[in-house]
Structure 1
Amino acid sequence: MLKIENYINGELVAPIDQQYLDNINPATGQVYSLIPDSNAGDVEKAVKAAKDAFPDWSTCGIDTRAKLLNKIADLIDQNLEELALAESIDNGKPLSLAKSVDIPRASSNFRFYASGIQHFASEAHFMEGTAINYTKRSAVGVAGCISPWNLPLYLFSWKIAPALAAGNTVVAKPTEVTPMTAYLLSKICIEAGLPNGVLNIVHGLGHKAGQAIVEHKDVPLISFTGGTETGKKLAATAAPMFKKLSLELGGKNPNIIFADCDFDDMLKTTIRSSFANQGQICLCGSRIFIERPIYEKFKKAFVEKVEKMHVGDPLDANTKMGAVVSEPHMNKVLGYIKLAQEEGGTILCGGNQVSLQGDCAGGFFIAPTVIEGLDYQCRTNQEEIFGPVVTLTPFDSEEEVLTMANATAYGLAATIWTQDLKRAHRVAHQVKSGIVWVNCWLLRDLRTPFGGMKQSGVGREGGFEALRFFTEPQNVCIKL
């Protein structure tokens, strides 16, 4: 059985204590590889390697760094098939999704920041007749990057690429739930000739390896994507140490549909924004609000399409819905469906575990689930489920839907469907979300800031926001 290895100081190495965790294929329920159960000792080796590599990497020049990032992107493209297959097996998502979205986006992340660092400008401020001020931005040091399981290589690379481009070295911990493509990236970095110690990947549990990274005195900045509760614990450790923090946390996103929308376009996109990656994307619109004049029409058309969605083997080309990521997560999602019924909700379709035949008989599959009849303040509509579950709620006015949309502790993303331009701006400006899509969903420009309000996070990722986070500004004032 394959044993995944840590990537420390340019080499693939076993964990110090030779302890491993099971890596389970969610489509079959079977262990198919072993993950290092790393501890503080492994992290210490990784931090030392990163710290030793920092002086040369931070001063080698942006052209050198850009060439290496582009080389990594080239190798990701060349290994698309292998990486996509690994991502599908590890995560349970349809292979077609991994091929078309996850792996290409990982390559794009490296290319974007290879180019971005060459166009990253600082500022100058001229004081007439007195002085000139200019801002120098420098790499901070060793960056700690901790990524989630839902978009494994996609989000792992989104942290690593800007950190490296800015001249930092990195100690990264991919989630222990879906570690395979991070391990394959280690091999790619070796092939690309990335200098030893520049990137170090330590596998293991959050409370052991992750915590060791966060609390290490030589890791001055932490970029984390994951659950809000974990983010709170992380911040409690990092804040008293005055580390720079970027936290991309949970979401409970509203999808607001007005009666004047382009109905066909809205319906097609809402299927995707509800159930892409089995609803395991922090940007999915899990609370759907429909203006009352089209509520019944929408409900009928939406449920008909959802009922036709094929839940099956992620490696089957016809599969639109694969497995959720793990058995504990499946049980959590099914628990919320039961809670919704207890809270008075009516299941319009789905609501059950799906049993398949053959190799997938032991897999973790859930039918896409649509629920109506719930109060907007109930737990089902307030807490992040992170699975293939959406609720439908009618509304009568902008004021009413804004009250409902803004009623959660989260504020990551929102979607608005209307052909009234004034309304689109008006409602978008009043929704408490870091990202608002109008008449679209997940239309991403990598130059834009990404992140949420309230308990959806601290700071912004993406574009030049990431390069600002991974650098330290210094003002220099020169008297004329």
Structure 2
Amino acid sequence: MAGTELAGAPAADTAPTEVKHLIGDQWRSASDGASFESRDPHDGSLLANVARGSAADGEAAIAVARDTFDSGDWSDLSPKQRAVILHRVADAVDAHREELAELETRDGGKTITQSLHAEIPRVAHNFRFFADYVAMAANEAYPDGDLLSYVLYPPAGVVSAISPWNAPLMLATWKIAPALAFGNTVVLKPAPQTPLTAHRFAELALEAGLPPGVLNVVHGFGGDEVAGPLTSDPRVDRITFTGSSVTGVKILQAAAVNHTPVSAEMGGKSANIVFADADLDVAVPKSIRAIFGGNGQVCLSGTRLLVQNSIREEFLERFVAEAAALTVGDPKDPTTFMGPLIEQQHLEKVHGYVELAQEEGGKVLVGGERLRDPARAGGFYYPPTVITGLTNQARAAREEIFGPVETVLGFDTEEEALRIANDSPYGLAGMLFTQNLDRAHRMAAKWRAGTVWINTFFERDLRLPFGGEGISGLGREGGQYSRDFFTEPRAVTLRLGR
């Protein structure tokens, strides 16, 4: 398959690209011949016909990944040897950054600015970071007289990686990179809405020297289809998943039969708390990005905006004005801030929550209706939407909307703000804007969230643990936490001879 078939905007008479599974070194159609379409959420144009994998395709990919791992051709390499290849993969991503960014934007509606300058560079960084981390990671050793105890970190085996559509390649490689760096083999199932960058990345990885069978890619859906074996086959040693909490529970149930460890980063309904002493020149634009960045389709978004009542009117005036001024349109235009939502079904879900919020007593300050002007009528466009008048008990304030919809709540005291923030079944992230560092430390210590940002948003150090509490997830990845998950730590004790 030609690696540049998808580069550039397609002409009107260009035939759609065919996307197949990668199993070992073979590009395969679905075993039963089934396929599905990938369409551009900007205008509905057909981008690709994609192999719709069955359980048989998933089993075939697992079998190849298992055989490749057991052969030792990858797992027996030293960390430094694997790092050389993984750095070449990162180099290939950098060399094709514009191509990959365009694919990401066309397939998922991500703005070209975000794809080109944030997400695709992060793909390469994921590989470089974990390649180097594994090669330099320290191990424990405990001498005790004539006893010497130490820890080995052999790879776990075959990893099923199930990635979402909202940051397709970046989140896929957040799983692939550490799994491969620690010596595992991988079967990746990208989201069916966004298969294109996973396909192109797999091509580039093979061209960069990644041995066949180390990374396998299957496309399709969950349930009894291609994802079924990825979560229930006893030959799978680890499952790493990012997606909704509902799907995460199903994966955990399937994995429990074989006692397969699962790392799951799931939904969020994160609080963004703005105190009266906050620097509004920082808090307002950061809060805008925290909800409307990524077209509002970000699990970490600050979807519950808590503003101290003494500055609520001033803050909202500025916040609503900035939200109304955001450019919503063709994601391929570098001036666009927000592109379309992923698909019609999701748009209907988002708007349904806006209607529900109004039924619950909410007032829409800006947005609230699908954009239907001629320039955007062919896509799934929804504007930045800000809603006040709800309590934290309203469904629109408690359930994950996963769109550009902000619910604004008020509070008076630090204790009240923390109580509202923690009054949620989710616990993925939190944002806090204040100039009082004592308060910041107090709140971070008591906030039930996997990540807390203070006077910033979406900054990541890959050495830190990443994951959520409550129904937002299970387990942590990043740095040593990824090592713990993608390996089988083994204790070794040796009695030295006299």
TM-score calculated relative to the size of structure 1:
0.98
Matches within 5 A, 1:410-425: 410-425=426-441
Which residue identity lines up with residue 404 of structure 2 in the other structure? P
Select the residue among 211, 215, 229 that pairs with 1:212: 229
Distance 1:291 1:274 in 2: 18
Which residue identity lines up with residue 458 of structure 2 in the other structure? L
Select the residue among 293, 300, 305 that pairs with 2:310: 293
Residue 49 (structure 1) aligned with residue 64 (structure 2): yes
Which residue identity lines up with residue 401 of structure 1 in the other structure? A
Matches within 5 A, 1:258-269: 258-269=275-286
Tell me which residue corresponds to 1:203: 219
Residue 447 (structure 1) aligned with residue 463 (structure 2): yes
TM-superposition CA deviations, 1:334-376 (whole Å, max 9, x none): 0000000000000000001112425x43100001000000011
TM-superposition CA deviations, 1:392-447 (whole Å, max 9, x none): 11100111111111111000000011111111101111111010000100111111
Contact 2:386 2:406 in 1 (8 A): yes
TM-superposition CA deviations, 1:272-331 (whole Å, max 9, x none): 111001111111100000111100000111001111111111111221110011111000
List alignment gaps of at least 5 residues for structure 2: 1-15
Which residue identity lines up with residue 231 of structure 1 in the other structure? G
Which residue identity lines up with residue 41 of structure 2 in the other structure? P
Distance 1:375 1:292 in 2: 14
> Secondary structure, in 3 states, of the residue corresponding to 1:365?
coil
Tell me which residue corresponds to 2:364: 347
Tell me which residue corresponds to 1:177: 193
Tell me which residue corresponds to 1:69: 86
Distance 1:469 1:253 in 2: 25
Residue 403 (structure 1) aligned with residue 419 (structure 2): yes
Tell me which residue corresponds to 1:279: 296
Which residue identity lines up with residue 150 of structure 2 in the other structure? Y
Select the residue among 397, 402, 411 that pairs with 1:386: 402
Distance 1:211 1:87 in 2: 26
Which residue identity lines up with residue 390 of structure 1 in the other structure? E
> Secondary structure, in 3 states, of the residue corresponding to 1:206?
coil
TM-superposition CA deviations, 1:188-217 (whole Å, max 9, x none): 012112111111001111221112211111
Distance 1:410 1:362 in 2: 34
> Secondary structure, in 3 states, of the residue corresponding to 1:393?
strand
Tell me which residue corresponds to 2:9: none
TM-superposition CA deviations, 1:62-95 (whole Å, max 9, x none): 1221111111110110101110000000001111
Computed over aligned residues only, the root mean square deviation of the Cα atoms, in angstroms, reads 1.0
Tell me which residue corresponds to 2:38: 23
> Secondary structure, in 3 states, of the residue corresponding to 1:58?
coil
Residue 139 (structure 1) aligned with residue 155 (structure 2): yes
Select the residue among 59, 72, 85 that pairs with 2:76: 59
How far did residue 24 of structure 1 move? Answer: 1.4
How far did residue 32 of structure 1 move? Answer: 2.2
Contact 1:39 1:212 in 2 (8 A): no
Tell me which residue corresponds to 1:5: 20
Contact 2:53 2:221 in 1 (8 A): yes
Select the residue among 174, 180, 195 that pairs with 1:158: 174
> Secondary structure, in 3 states, of the residue corresponding to 2:115?
helix
Contact 2:47 2:107 in 1 (8 A): no
> Secondary structure, in 3 states, of the residue corresponding to 2:73?
helix
Tell me which residue corresponds to 1:233: 250
Contact 2:371 2:377 in 1 (8 A): no
Distance 1:377 1:361 in 2: 34
List alignment gaps of at least 5 residues for structure 1: none
Tell me which residue corresponds to 2:8: none
TM-superposition CA deviations, 1:102-127 (whole Å, max 9, x none): 10111110111111111122212233
Tell me which residue corresponds to 2:287: 270
Contact 1:211 1:234 in 2 (8 A): no
> Secondary structure, in 3 states, of the residue corresponding to 1:138?
coil
Contact 1:125 1:133 in 2 (8 A): yes
Select the residue among 381, 397, 403 that pairs with 1:365: 381
Contact 2:467 2:477 in 1 (8 A): yes
Aligned residues: 478
Matches within 5 A, 1:455-466: 455-466=471-482
Mean CA deviation greater in 188-197 or 363-372: 188-197
Tell me which residue corresponds to 1:479: 495
How far did residue 474 of structure 1 move? Answer: 0.9
How far did residue 40 of structure 1 move? Answer: 1.5
Distance 1:342 1:35 in 2: 40
How far did residue 186 of structure 1 move? Answer: 1.3
Distance 2:136 2:78 in 1: 13
Distance 2:263 2:356 in 1: 33
Which residue identity lines up with residue 50 of structure 2 in the other structure? I
Contact 1:23 1:35 in 2 (8 A): yes
Residue 248 (structure 1) aligned with residue 265 (structure 2): yes
Select the residue among 42, 48, 55 that pairs with 1:40: 55
Contact 2:232 2:257 in 1 (8 A): no
Distance 1:154 1:366 in 2: 24
Which residue identity lines up with residue 464 of structure 2 in the other structure? T
Which residue identity lines up with residue 59 of structure 2 in the other structure? E
Contact 2:58 2:228 in 1 (8 A): no
Tell me which residue corresponds to 1:329: 346
Contact 1:312 1:356 in 2 (8 A): no
Which residue identity lines up with residue 223 of structure 1 in the other structure? T
Distance 1:429 1:216 in 2: 40
How far did residue 130 of structure 1 move? Answer: 5.0
Contact 2:166 2:297 in 1 (8 A): yes
Contact 2:24 2:216 in 1 (8 A): yes
